[in-house]
Structure 1
Amino acid sequence: MGYRAYQYRLYPNKRQTQDLLNLLAVGRHYYNMCLDLWRYVYLTEKRRPTSQEFEVMRKGYKKTIPAARGVHSHVFQGLAKRAEEAFQGFFRRVKAGEAPGYPRYKSLDRFHAIEFKQFGNGVAIDGRRVRISGVGRVRVRWHRPMQGTAKTAEIVHKAGQWFVVFTCEVPDQPELPKTGQVVGLDLGVAALFTTSDGDKVDHPKFYQQSQKRLRVLNRALARKKKGGKNRRKAKQRLQRHHHHIQNQRLDYAHKLSYALVQHYDLIALEELKVKNMVRNKHLSKSILDAGWSIFTKLLTNKAVEAGRQVLFVNPAYTSKTCSNCGALFEDLTLADRWVECRCGLSLDRDHNAARNILKQALRLWDAEVRRNVAGSPDASVPRKPLALPMGSVTAGCHVWN
């Protein structure tokens, strides 16, 4: 069994919108109190708070705060769990020698979701609507059927819009039939990635294409008086446009990852540390706009469901090594977009890197399986054209052996 999330847009009326905002306000305040309890108990007694202490705090909170009396108990339990996870993550990062990132209080702009840990208890489907405890029956747009058994529900507020997210337990999907195809992908900025077959997949640059509109919205926000109603509206318009860009990037990544998983038995990529790479001020915006992290995450998840394999290899010298004879191009710089070797190889540097990535992955892959797929020297399976979203593939340069 596996888990899958389904997100649907909510359309609350004015009263329901105010009730949902009150629910978020209570949740934010209680979450900050949970952080306070963690700090106090750990600093004074060097231990974690017990569930009994959280229960005493919850009962006292509901008695003293009138707005909290109609809030479901599962909401408070979920908030206590979130605070615990925040501190566990903090302790884990300290132990690993990473940047600790001490848990912070949540402001109005940083608290967007309330979780109900048990579907049917606090949140339930009532006909064509969703019934939320303390809010009522809210209209929903069911844009696709929900599969499996719903286990949890989450109410999310993003850019002035409301959503409900159901986490469902779904049966394991049957594995896709083997295609006999393998591929290496070299992620980039000019092109989202280049395949070991020589194809380049376009980088749509959704954020860069929206720069003009974002400048207009940012200027409009800067002109509004702080604390005013018009400033709040201008901020919401800006948030909504950023949310639109995020949805564009996510949709494109879903389509690309689906096409790759349908087509290839093995997909090889470089194990890139994106957090370190975005420190380069000249490339950070382009790298983040490319959405490498979300693309690789979706690709990995889809591959697991379909019985495919995604392998990450060491990125060192993938561009500077000849994919034909293994010679090292010591003088190669980022400005050099074409590589030529004494062995006769002449091709695009990203294509060369993708071939090296695939070679490394094939060495890691099971030898018995490798004999039956394309990409190995004795492979007899012909290459099939890759069907990707329209307009995303440009013809690549192929090596002549």
Structure 2
Amino acid sequence: MKKTLRYNYRLNPTPEQEAKLIEFGATARGIWNLLLSENMRRYEYDKTFLFYKEMASLLKELKPFEEFAWIKSFDSAAAQQVARDLETAVKNAFSKVRLQRFPKHKVSYKKKKLHNDSFRAVNNSNCIRIENGAISIPKVGKVPIVLHRELVSKIKTITVQYRHGKWECSITQEVECKTAKQVLETITGFDINSKQTVVGSNGFVADNPKFLKQAIEKLNQLQRQLARRTKGSNRWLKTKQRINKLHGKISRQRLDFAHKTSRQITNENDILVFEDLNVKAMQKFNGSMVADNVMGLITQLSKYKAELEGKLYHEIGRFEKSTGICSECGQRHVLTLNDRRFTCTACGAYQSRDLAAAKSIASTGELDIIAAGIVARVTPASQQKQSVKTKVFELSKLDFGSEKKEAA
């Protein structure tokens, strides 16, 4: 089984190449706004929308006109990707599952004062390749790249963007997943909370580093400095760029922490059980805390890493109760956010709220995957004569991909 993954690399373009990248980003934004305006006009006329084939044909018809020469100078495959993205956005706006807003026109560079547009190119006929420390981008040329890791397979697409004062390219590649493990020796539940980022039922704890809190003093200082500047002046722009770079540093720290934590979790366990968190609703309650805790990011990274390693990832239902359940007798308790430890009213066990929740998640997940027929509990010959036996599971003989669909 293959999986499409995305890898980010730093670009070091020359001044001429940088001007071309800025121009292409603005062109992609212009095509988006043009096609969106045509969609809105069509809807007002006959209550229908343009989809990918019609939008691609429209772009082809507009190229011969002199006023649309800017479309002709752009990579045609990249223009088609803009049409695909707009089609997806329009469909998601009317999907009952996604519940997204209708797409909006993208703001111009002059209004935002930042050229942070992006465009995506497709590797047709090996037009995108890395040679001698540079990556060839259609109609841009060979741009120097910081290749901090080797490519795993052939490049599918490349997305170029200016973020936090640096040029970056995001490369998608197909990666072969490892064969599914037939014998799964460890099952661990993970509770994600505000105090510690992750607490495992096996005693694993990853404390919340709170990168935003560490940088808040410097951030407040720059925000006050920005307020004293004349809006639009050179000093105002320089201060705004410093704020942008600081936010970029915080973002990279969070991503690095999430990758390292999810990698450790995946390496040490065969079956990973998480909660299906409603992160969007939690952000309305305390957005900065949830963002700084990378709650949803760790579960996403752990999921794809488990699939790559041939291990099993499972999420229990969103409304399954896990907090306040005694890990010894299963008695349920009502706890407030301030109650980090509690004493069971039935058996008198004094325990950590988060560790008990993680054990409850592991127990619920174990029952779910056994009931779904994904795994079966077995006792290896090496453990038959031992008094203390660890839980070992055997993967069912069904196809590994179909098992995951059934579990979902």
- TM (normalized to structure 2)? 0.84
1:288 equivalent to 2:291? Answer yes
1:103 equivalent to 2:103? Answer yes
Corresponding residue for 2:259? 254
1:71 equivalent to 2:78? Answer no
Deviation readout 1:377-399 (Å, 9 max, x if unpaired): x972399xxxxxxxxxxxxxxxx
1:150 equivalent to 2:155? Answer yes
- AA aligned to 1:89 is N
- AA aligned to 2:353 is R
Deviation readout 1:311-356 (Å, 9 max, x if unpaired): 22245432222222122224x3222222212324221111111111
Corresponding residue for 1:47? 48
| Structure 2 counterparts to residues 224-239 of structure 1, below 5 A | 224-239=229-244
1:334 equivalent to 2:337? Answer yes
Distance 2:124 2:130 in 1: 9
Match of 1:165 among 164, 170, 193: 170
Residues 191 and 201 in structure 1, CA contact (< 8 A), matched pair in contact too: yes
Residues 176 and 308 in structure 2, CA contact (< 8 A), matched pair in contact too: no
| Structure 2 counterparts to residues 196-215 of structure 1, below 5 A | 196-215=201-220
Q: CA deviation at 1:66?
A: 4.4
Match of 1:302 among 302, 305, 308: 305
Number of aligned residues: 374
Corresponding residue for 1:34? 35
Distance 1:230 1:19 in 2: 26
- AA aligned to 2:163 is K
Q: CA deviation at 1:293?
A: 0.9
Give the direction of change, closer, same or farther, for the CA distance of 1:197–1:169 in structure 2 (3 Å limit).
Answer: closer
Deviation readout 1:9-63 (Å, 9 max, x if unpaired): 1111212111111111111111111111111222212223252454233442563
Q: CA deviation at 1:100?
A: 4.4
Distance 1:99 1:296 in 2: 22
1:380 equivalent to 2:389? Answer yes
Distance 1:309 1:301 in 2: 10
Q: CA deviation at 1:207?
A: 1.0
Residues 149 and 170 in structure 1, CA contact (< 8 A), matched pair in contact too: no
Corresponding residue for 1:395? none
- AA aligned to 1:205 is K
State the SS of the aligned residue for 1:151: strand
Q: CA deviation at 1:218?
A: 1.7
Distance 1:26 1:372 in 2: 62
Distance 2:377 2:229 in 1: 62
Distance 1:106 1:225 in 2: 25
Residues 58 and 76 in structure 1, CA contact (< 8 A), matched pair in contact too: no
Give the direction of change, closer, same or farther, for the CA distance of 1:344–1:290 in structure 2 (3 Å limit).
Answer: same
Match of 1:128 among 127, 133, 142: 133
1:6 equivalent to 2:15? Answer no
State the SS of the aligned residue for 2:130: strand
Corresponding residue for 1:351? 355
State the SS of the aligned residue for 2:129: strand
- AA aligned to 1:333 is T
Q: CA deviation at 1:6?
A: 2.1
Distance 2:379 2:5 in 1: 32
In structure 1, runs of 5+ residues without a counterpart are: 384-401
Residues 43 and 49 in structure 2, CA contact (< 8 A), matched pair in contact too: yes
Q: CA deviation at 1:168?
A: 1.2
Residues 258 and 301 in structure 2, CA contact (< 8 A), matched pair in contact too: yes
Give the direction of change, closer, same or farther, for the CA distance of 1:53–1:369 in structure 2 (3 Å limit).
Answer: closer
State the SS of the aligned residue for 1:327: coil
- What's the Cα RMSD here? 2.6
State the SS of the aligned residue for 1:370: strand
- AA aligned to 1:35 is L
Deviation readout 1:86-126 (Å, 9 max, x if unpaired): 1011011xx35x75412111113596320112355664334
Residues 4 and 168 in structure 1, CA contact (< 8 A), matched pair in contact too: yes
Give the direction of change, closer, same or farther, for the CA distance of 1:142–1:53 in structure 2 (3 Å limit).
Answer: closer
Give the direction of change, closer, same or farther, for the CA distance of 1:381–1:327 in structure 2 (3 Å limit).
Answer: closer
In structure 2, runs of 5+ residues without a counterpart are: 381-386, 393-408
Distance 2:184 2:223 in 1: 49
